[in-house]
Amino acid sequence: MTPLPLRALIFDVDGTLADTESAHRVAFNHAFAEAGLDWHWDEPLYTRLLEVSGGKERITHYWAEVCGDVKAIEAGALADTVQRIHDLKTAVYERLVQDGAVQLRPGVLRLIESAFKEGLRLAIATTTSPVNIAALMRSAIGPDWTHIFQIIEDASTAPLKKPHPQVYLQTLNRMQLRAAECLAFEDSANGLKAATGAGLPTIVTPNAFTAHHDFAGALRVLPSLQDTTVADLRAWHAAAPR
Ligand code: XBP
Ligand code: MG
């Protein structure tokens, strides 16, 4: 059967478009201090906590699993406190990105720009918050970034976090495309599960926080997109098992 042509590229944000998680970790720790909490997430702990997608879910998980004293807190009060901490964190992260703390990963901008010029549609499917996406894209691409990425699905539109495929299913639905017409780009096992769970052939570019993850089921695992061209993507997509 003739494979469907490649029509769209769907990108994860954190760890894929940019190595953001070090800045996220700094922002979480600033927020804990600002909230008067004696929590501190060092890199080894944060690497483990990244197995929980979503900043609010990660805070709640840590509080319940590590601190263990959440049982005494009424659920509504817990959610309100987690939201307040996460709002503090998002404000710090946004300032860090605006101050240039995060760059796009090697090859990402060139690949995005050449794909856009060749008429491929571009979308974002992420677990992170809309504020974080806008701060990163404005800093890395400029105000026109919204013309390049037509569709954005994020924590505000897809509450079921990766590895649930919701964010990718919603992206495909809004683009009115079949999974076989697209390629997804991810950095983590949760992200790969979410993308392949939506039927998407997926290219993985691991980073320091995810290099140890299991990427079985990936179409390709690459150290970065530095040497990847649109022609490569078309060839890999055409050869993808159906
Ligand atoms: C990675 C995540 C996010 C970030 C933190 O998202 O799981 O939670 O770690 O951002 P992606 P928030 O799907 O882009 O890899 O605090 O806004 O959740
Ligand atoms: Mg990611």
Residues 92, 107, single domain; the answer is no
In this prediction, residue 1 has a pLDDT band, given cuts at 50, 70 and 90, of low
Give the model's pLDDT for residue 73: 76
**What share of the chain in percent tops pLDDT 70?**
99
Give the model's pLDDT for residue 7: 98
CA distance 197 to 185: 14
Residue 37 or residue 76, greater confidence: 37
What distance in angstroms lies between residue 96's CA and the mean position of ligand 1's atoms? 15
What are the contacts of 232-239 at 24+ separation with CB within 8 A?
Answer: 233/6, 233/9, 233/111, 233/115, 233/183, 233/203, 234/6, 236/183, 236/201, 236/203, 237/3, 237/6, 237/183, 237/201, 238/3, 238/6
Identify the residue whose C-alpha is closest to ligand 1 atom 16: 55
Give the model's pLDDT for residue 155: 96
Q: Give the chain's mean pLDDT.
A: 95
Residue 73 or residue 154, greater confidence: 154
Answer whether residue 54 shows pLDDT above 80. Answer: yes
Residues 13, 76, single domain; the answer is no
Residues 165, 145, single domain; the answer is yes
Residues 149, 78, single domain; the answer is no
Give the model's pLDDT for residue 2: 74
What distance in angstroms lies between residue 120's CA and the mean position of ligand 2's atoms? 22
Q: Which of 25, 47, 56, 127 to mutate to test the pocket of ligand 1 (most atoms within 8 A of CB)?
A: 127
Residues 112, 212, single domain; the answer is yes
Answer whether residue 29 shows pLDDT above 70. Answer: yes
Answer whether residue 115 shows pLDDT above 80. Answer: yes
Residue 57: domain span: 21-98
By annotation, the residues acting in catalysis are 12, 14
| CA 180 and chain centroid, separation | 21
Q: pLDDT, tens digit, for every residue of 160-187?
A: 999 999 999 999 999 999 999 999 999 9
Give the model's pLDDT for residue 119: 98
Q: Which residues contact 11 (CB under 8 A, 6 or more apart)?
A: 17, 112, 122, 123, 124, 125, 149, 184, 185
Residue 2 lies in a domain: no
Give the model's pLDDT for residue 224: 98
Q: Mean per-residue pLDDT for 201-209?
A: 98
**Distance from first CA to last CA of the chain, Å, rounded?**
9
Closest residue by Cα to residue 79 from 59, 49, 50:
59
Please, how many CA atoms are within 13 Å of residue 64, restricted to the half-sphere of its CB?
15
For ligand 1, residues with CB inside 6 Å are 12-15, 21, 24, 53-55, 126-129, 132, 155, 162, 191
CA distance 208 to 232: 25
Q: Which residues contact 45 (CB under 8 A, 6 or more apart)?
A: none
Domain count, the chain: 2
Q: What is the CATH number of the domain that holds 170?
A: 3.40.50.1000
Q: pLDDT, tens digit, for every residue of 34-47?
A: 999 999 999 999 99
What is the number of the ligand 1 atom nearest to the C-alpha of 28? 16
Identify the residue whose C-alpha is closest to ligand 1 atom 10: 128
CA distance 228 to 80: 44
Answer whether residue 72 shows pLDDT above 90. Answer: no
Answer whether residue 83 shows pLDDT above 80. Answer: yes
Q: What is the CATH number of the domain that holds 31?
A: 1.10.150.240
Closest residue by Cα to residue 197 from 48, 59, 7, 53:
53
Tokens of 160: 């079921």
What is the number of the ligand 1 atom nearest to the C-alpha of 129? 17
Q: Which of 11, 21, 24 to mutate to test the pocket of ligand 1 (most atoms within 8 A of CB)?
A: 24
**What share of the chain in percent tops pLDDT 90?**
91
Closest residue by Cα to residue 64 from 76, 82, 47:
82
Domain boundary pick from 55, 83, 98 = 98
Residues 123, 229, single domain; the answer is yes
Residues 149, 89, single domain; the answer is no
Give the model's pLDDT for residue 202: 98
Q: Mean per-residue pLDDT for 96-116?
A: 97
Q: Mean per-residue pLDDT for 144-157?
A: 96
